């Protein structure tokens, strides 16, 4: 009989490895369940955990079991309800269901329900999103290193010893040192065969040859099987690696034409973008720009919560973005991205200037620029001007949002991973 005994310690995180294996195995079902859960919650509630259920029929796994052949002797625990010879009533429905009354046919199974933590939920939520055209760059102030294999060395710690290479070196040394002795032994044996043809076995010359062979074999046996000289250790060196570093410009219209509902939609879009960037990329800088007739760079709190309003001159925000790029990020070491939210309502003579600034002064320096127009009516003049930018620049994308329900689909469309 064979027994499989799991002796792993059951700590408070005892299922961490198994849980990750479970996620990998049922990634498709979990992602679909997360997608269904997202549709029922608001953007502001997006970074909480979720209770996910998966049908039991999708969770079947190989199991160890006993074969039905042979004779079995089984001992069941006693009970105070039945005695030998009692008849057990047939279950209602006549089936062999394992559920809790979920079907009148008796063939149902309860769904497997488990709780996703906040981290796990967000990992799956943002799993297939990425900043487009992200290029590996190296920043002087951000030094990252990784350890890579660099052959073998004769010095090191026991933990890094390479057994195969050490034994191979020992074998080569023994062959090299014992080679001349083996060659001499072979020659002596050939001479003995020749002498046996004319001399008796106890001839002194033949005995001398055998004594010489024994001394040579003793020398071969005395060669150390392994020596400290043979030991080889895995050598690792640290090399600098490029850093995926990016800056994201968040530009939002807070003019009077942007009523409170549109501002909330814009804020929620940027909150989703902010959460995505902070979670996904380590070296991300965010630049927040709010504008009405005048644009200004603000911090995160003021960007999302300020109630300032006014007229509409979109070019002021694009000019400020252009100036910041030239001042801080024009050294070619940054991946520059931009996202702009507006209702499209702009001073008529300003929209052509916006297209010119965007096409000539911004798009050549950015990896990707996304524009969302928050409106339920006809396309505004800014949208019409930006169509020309989209036709000439492949790294420019634009989408329309009519309500809160459109935020997440539009966000995924703008930042979904592109196939290489």
How far is it, in rounded angstroms, from Cα 418 to Cα 245?
A: 19
The predicted model scores a pTM of: 0.52
Least-confidence region, from 112-116, 254-258, 349-353, 396-400: 112-116
Token pair of 166 as six digits:
């050490």
Query: Is-contact 56 109, C-beta < 8 A?
Result: yes
Identify the residue with better confidence: 230 or 64. Answer: 230
Q: Which of 17-21, 23-27, 54-58, 286-290 has the highest mean pLDDT?
A: 286-290
| E-strand stretches of 87-139 | 112-116
Q: How far apart are the first and last CA of the chain?
A: 53
How far is it, in rounded angstroms, from Cα 356 to Cα 211?
A: 100
Q: Which of 239-243, 356-360, 380-384 has the highest mean pLDDT?
A: 356-360
Biggest CA–CA distance in the chain, Å, is 123
Query: Is-contact 354 381, C-beta < 8 A?
Result: no
Q: How high does pLDDT run on average in the chain?
A: 76
Is 8 a residue whose pLDDT tops 90?
no
How far is it, in rounded angstroms, from Cα 418 to Cα 420?
A: 6
Give the phi and the psi of residue 137 in degrees, each rounded to 5: -125, 160
Identify the residue with better confidence: 3 or 96. Answer: 3
Query: Is-contact 242 137, C-beta < 8 A?
Result: yes
- Mean pLDDT score, 293-313: 81
pLDDT in the model for residue 308: 73
pLDDT band at 274 (very low <50, low <70, confident <90, very high): confident
Pairing of strands 396-401, 245-253: unpaired
Nearest to 335 by CA among 137, 68, 86, 107: 137
Query: Is-contact 50 121, C-beta < 8 A?
Result: yes
Residues 6+ apart with CB under 8 A from 145: 238, 239, 240, 241
Is 49 a residue whose pLDDT tops 50?
yes
pLDDT in the model for residue 278: 72
Identify the residue with better confidence: 293 or 3. Answer: 293
Q: At what angle do helices 16-25 and 27-38 cross, to 10 degrees?
A: 80
DSSP 359: I
Q: What is the CATH code of the structural domain delimited by 245-415?
A: 3.40.50.410
Residues in a beta bridge with 246: 284, 335
Residue with tokens 């507006």: 342
Q: Which helix (H) or strand (E) holds 326?
A: helix 315-328
Residue with tokens 């990707």: 368
Query: Is-contact 253 341, C-beta < 8 A?
Result: yes
- Mean pLDDT score, 186-207: 86
Least-confidence region, from 8-17, 109-118, 283-292: 8-17
Nearest to 347 by CA among 217, 266, 256: 256
Is 99 a residue whose pLDDT tops 50?
no
pLDDT in the model for residue 95: 47
- Mean pLDDT score, 64-72: 72
pLDDT in the model for residue 405: 78
pLDDT in the model for residue 134: 55
How far is it, in rounded angstroms, from Cα 149 to Cα 212?
A: 48
Token pair of 200 as six digits:
């008796």
Q: Which helix (H) or strand (E) holds 303?
A: helix 300-305
- Mean pLDDT score, 399-403: 87
Portion of the chain with pLDDT greater than 70, in percent: 66
Is 47 a residue whose pLDDT tops 70?
no
Query: Is-contact 140 130, C-beta < 8 A?
Result: no
- 107 alpha carbon, distance to own chain's centre: 39
Reduce the DSSP state of residue 349 to 3 states and report it. Answer: coil
Buried b (16+ CB within 10 A) or exposed e, 99-108: eeeeeeebeb
Residue with tokens 């990750």: 20
- Mean pLDDT score, 251-258: 84
Is 302 a residue whose pLDDT tops 60?
yes
Token pair of 338 as six digits:
């931009």
- Mean pLDDT score, 242-271: 80
How far is it, in rounded angstroms, from Cα 104 to Cα 108?
A: 9
Is 319 a residue whose pLDDT tops 90?
yes
Is 321 a residue whose pLDDT tops 90?
yes
Is 126 a residue whose pLDDT tops 80?
no
DSSP assignment string, 152-219: EES---GGGB-HHHHHHHHHHHHHHHHHHHHHHHHHHHHHHHHHHTTS-TT-HHHHHHHHHHHHHHHH
How far is it, in rounded angstroms, from Cα 348 to Cα 353?
A: 10
How far is it, in rounded angstroms, from Cα 401 to Cα 266?
A: 9
pLDDT in the model for residue 101: 45
pLDDT band at 324 (very low <50, low <70, confident <90, very high): very high
pLDDT band at 201 (very low <50, low <70, confident <90, very high): confident
- Mean pLDDT score, 76-94: 67
131-171 pLDDT, tens per residue? 665 555 544 444 567 788 888 888 888 888 898 999 999 99
């Amino acid at each position: 009989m064979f027994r499989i005994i799991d002796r792993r310690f059951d700590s408070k995180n005892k299922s961490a490895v198994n849980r990750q294996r479970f996620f990998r195995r049922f990634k498709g079902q979990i992602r679909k369940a997360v997608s269904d859960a997202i549709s029922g919650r608001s953007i502001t509630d997006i970074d909480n955990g979720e209770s996910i259920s998966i049908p039991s029929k999708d969770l079947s796994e190989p199991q160890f079991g006993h074969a039905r052949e042979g004779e079995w002797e089984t001992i069941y625990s006693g009970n105070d309800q039945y005695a030998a010879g009692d008849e057990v009533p047939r279950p209602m429905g006549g089936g062999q269901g394992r559920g809790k009354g979920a079907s009148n046919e008796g063939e149902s199974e309860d769904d497997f329900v488990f709780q996703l933590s906040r981290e796990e939920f967000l990992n799956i939520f943002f799993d297939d999103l990425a900043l487009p055209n992200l290029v590996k760059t190296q920043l002087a102030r951000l030094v990252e290193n990784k350890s890579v294999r660099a052959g073998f060395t004769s010095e090191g710690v026991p933990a890094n010893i390479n057994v195969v290479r050490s034994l191979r070196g020992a074998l080569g040394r023994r062959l090299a040192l014992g080679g001349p002795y083996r060659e001499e032994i072979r020659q002596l044996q050939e001479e003995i065969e020749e002498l046996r043809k004319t001399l008796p076995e106890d001839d002194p010359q033949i005995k001398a040859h055998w004594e010489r062979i024994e001394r040579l074999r003793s020398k071969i046996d005395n060669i150390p099987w392994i020596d400290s000289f043979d030991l080889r250790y895995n050598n690792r060196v640290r090399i600098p690696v490029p850093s995926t570093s990016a800056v994201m410009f968040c530009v939002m219209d807070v003019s009077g034409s942007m009523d409170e509902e549109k501002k909330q939609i814009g804020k929620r879009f940027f909150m989703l973008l902010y959460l995505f960037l902070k979670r996904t990329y380590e070296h991300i800088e965010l630049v927040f720009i709010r504008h009405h007739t005048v644009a200004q760079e603000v911090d995160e709190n003021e960007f999302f919560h300020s109630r300032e309003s006014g007229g509409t001159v979109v070019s002021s925000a694009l000019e400020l973005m252009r100036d910041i790029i030239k001042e801080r990020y024009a050294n070619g070491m940054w991946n520059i991205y931009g996202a702009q939210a507006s209702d499209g309502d702009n001073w008529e003579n300003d929209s052509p200037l916006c297209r010119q600034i965007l096409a000539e002064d911004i798009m050549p320096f950015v990896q990707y620029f996304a524009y969302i127009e928050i409106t339920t009516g006809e396309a505004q003049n800014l949208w019409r001007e930006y169509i020309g930018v989209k036709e000439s620049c492949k790294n420019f994308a634009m989408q329309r949002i009519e309500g809160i329900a459109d935020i997440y689909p539009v966000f995924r469309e703008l930042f979904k991973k592109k196939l290489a």
